[in-house]
């Protein structure tokens, strides 16, 4: 995204509706501690490895994951 990164987008979405659920999709290894320091407004439950969807992902698995997140 040319204007902002995904975490900045997260902040903007949360300003509009703080009840919205957001999943991150990632293709790289991430230093989660540093990420939490850089984006303190993001709840730690949003950036722990279990809550990040890894690329590549099959469409069926993505749908399954989204359905799970919507029901929890």
Q: Is residue 51 part of a domain?
A: yes
20: left (phi over 0), alpha (psi -120 to 50) or beta: beta
Position 17 scores a pLDDT of: 94
**The model's pTM:** 0.56
Q: Is residue 1 part of a domain?
A: no
Structure-token pair, residue 48: 């722990």
**3-class DSSP state of 52:** strand
* Tens digits of residue pLDDT in 13-40: 889 998 888 777 776 666 666 666 766 7
Position 50 scores a pLDDT of: 57
Helices (H), the chain: 6-16, 32-38, 44-47, 59-71
User: Percentage of residues in the chain with pLDDT exceeding 70?
Assistant: 64
Domain range for 56: 6-71
Count the alpha carbons within 13 Å of 17 in the hemisphere toward its beta carbon: 4
Query: If you search the block for the tokens 């995904």, which residue do you land on?
Result: 6
Q: Is residue 21 part of a domain?
A: yes
């Amino acid at each position: 995204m040319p204007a902002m990164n995904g975490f900045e987008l997260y902040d903007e979405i949360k300003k509009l509706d703080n009840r919205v659920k957001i999943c991150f999709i990632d293709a790289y290894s991430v230093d989660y501690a540093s990420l939490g320091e850089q984006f303190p407004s993001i709840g730690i439950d949003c950036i722990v490895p279990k809550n990040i969807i890894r690329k590549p992902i099959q469409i069926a698995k993505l749908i399954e994951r989204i359905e799970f997140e919507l029901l929890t």
